[in-house]
Amino acid sequence: MSVSFSKKNIIAIAMSGGVDSSTVAAIMLSEGYEVFGLTMNFHKSAQNDIEDSAKICKILGISHFVVDFKNEFHEKVIKTFRTYYENGMTPNPCALCNRYIKIGLLVKEAIDKGANFLATGHYVKRTETSLLSEATNKSKDQSYFLALAKKENLKRMMFPLGDMKSKNETREIAQKYGLHNFEKKESQDMCFAHDESYFPENIGEIIHIRTGEILGKHSGIHNYTIGQRKGLSVSYKNPLYVIRIDCKRNSILVGEKELLNRKNFVIRKINWIIEKEQEFKIHVKLRSSCKKTLAKVQKLDNSSANVELLENTDTPVANGQICAMYDGECVVGGGIIWEE
């Protein structure tokens, strides 16, 4: 672990039924902490997670509690998810869920139940000098998704998997402690993706942004994001990408790749983990899987700022996504990408 904690601390484990959180529970227990499990019931597909978490807690001999956050999840995540898409934006529901539910509400629940800290299976680090830093294994790093987590909540967090060199290392530890789910596959979808249909089918036009040509039909603007190339189902002499989503006209505007070269944008609802001066240079990530890009940030106020990219990037700037800011491996904060 990157930072030391007193063994007198009581640790709540955020348990999802997966191998990561299960391994965290086993590690913390083996290190001498008093441990109990917390599993959230916050969407219709959560029952399997609850049952798997209960089995792991029984194997480890620790208490297990289920907390119901369905109403809060609907208000803070689902409604925002729908609103952003309806306004031509591309939301990041995992980052919102981490801020409000998986970290926000669950930290409070952990403290209310007598814990000093909440430990999770996120692949990130907390160090002596940073509340949130990238994991050792950069291919598994999840710091981007935690960039909106409040500083006061991160102070109550532990991330035991941050120093793992690979997922196989986590699985080996789980197997060592006799956890039956050590080979359980990772979920790649949004946890609520199959619960229901969140948008009605709303067919509209796919239009070339320069020529105005109608090239085809789309099945709903929520199925598209800025920079998307695959799945457009239109024929053209050049490769086409989604350049803009016009929600008022219910249209998808497409064009050549050079039209994606957006260098300036605004970020709003900024979460500062480390306070910064009025204007500064920093590296930013515009999607979880993209490389960091050098940028200049100028505050408009404490919750919004102008961002100017100082390097070329292959990552399209998409309204609604998270712009996470990094000083080396340390996360400074993050905000939501907005219109220019």
Q: How many residues does the chain have?
A: 340
Cα–Cα nearest to 135, from 159, 107, 117: 159
Question: Would you state the pLDDT for residue 330?
Answer: 97
Give the per-residue pLDDT at 111.
Answer: 96
Distance CA 215, CA 115 (A): 58
Q: What was the pLDDT predicted at 42?
A: 87
What is the token pair recorded at 91? 């939301």
Burial of 212 (0-12, 13-18, 19+ CB in 10 A): exposed
Report yes or no: 323 and 335 within 8 Å, Cβ to Cβ: yes
Same fold, 10-176 and 264-338: no
Single-letter amino acid, residue 161: L
Residue 190 confidence (pLDDT): 65
Of the residues 57, 97, 323, 330, only one is catalytic, namely 97
Start-end of H helices in the chain: 19-30, 47-60, 70-73, 79-86, 93-97, 106-112, 151-154, 167-176
DSSP class of residue 19?
H
* Token pair belonging to 204: 């509209």
Angle subtended by helix axes 47-60 and 19-30, to nearest 10: 20
What is residue 184's DSSP assignment? P
Per the residue annotation, which of 57, 94, 191, 330 is the catalytic one?
A: 191
Confidence (pLDDT) at 2:
63
pLDDT (tens place) for every residue of the chain, 340 residues total: 466 778 789 999 999 989 999 999 999 999 999 999 999 998 777 888 899 999 999 999 999 999 999 999 999 999 999 899 888 899 999 999 999 999 999 999 999 999 999 999 999 999 999 999 999 999 999 999 999 999 999 999 999 999 999 999 999 999 999 998 888 777 656 666 555 567 777 899 999 999 999 999 998 888 899 999 998 989 899 999 999 999 889 999 999 999 998 999 999 999 999 999 999 999 999 999 899 999 999 999 999 999 999 999 989 999 999 999 999 999 999 999 997 6
Q: How big, in percent rounded to 5, are the helix, strand and coil portions of the chain? A: 25, 30, 45
At residue 192, the pLDDT reads: 65
Residue with tokens 């790649």: 188
In Å, what is the CA distance from 252 to each residue of 91, 223, 224, 258? 17, 10, 8, 17
Q: Catalytic site residue 330?
A: no
CA dihedral (153, 158, 163, 165) positive or negative? negative
The 8 Å CB, 24+ separation contacts for 80-85 are: 81/198, 82/198, 82/199, 84/320, 85/199, 85/221, 85/222
If DSSP codes are grouped into helix, strand and coil, which group holds residue 151? helix
Report domain extents, the chain.
10-176, 204-260, 264-338
pLDDT of 339: 74
- Domain 10-176: state its class: alpha beta
Assign domain 264-338 to its CATH superfamily.
Answer: Translation factors (2.40.30.10)
- Please give the distance of CA 189 from its chain centroid, rounded to a whole number: 12
Q: Output the DSSP codes for 82-115.
A: HHHHHTT----HHHHHIIIIIIIIHHHHHHHTT-
Please give the pLDDT value at position 191.
67
| H/E element, 257 | none
The CB-based long-range contact list for 68-75 (8 Å cut-off, 24+ gap) reads 68/40, 68/41, 68/42, 69/40, 69/41, 69/42, 69/101, 69/105, 70/41, 70/42, 70/43, 72/42, 72/100, 72/101, 72/105, 73/42, 73/43, 73/97, 73/101, 73/192
Q: Is 97 a catalytic residue?
A: yes
- Could you tell me the strand order of the sheet in which 204-208 lies? 214-218, 204-208, 251-255, 241-246
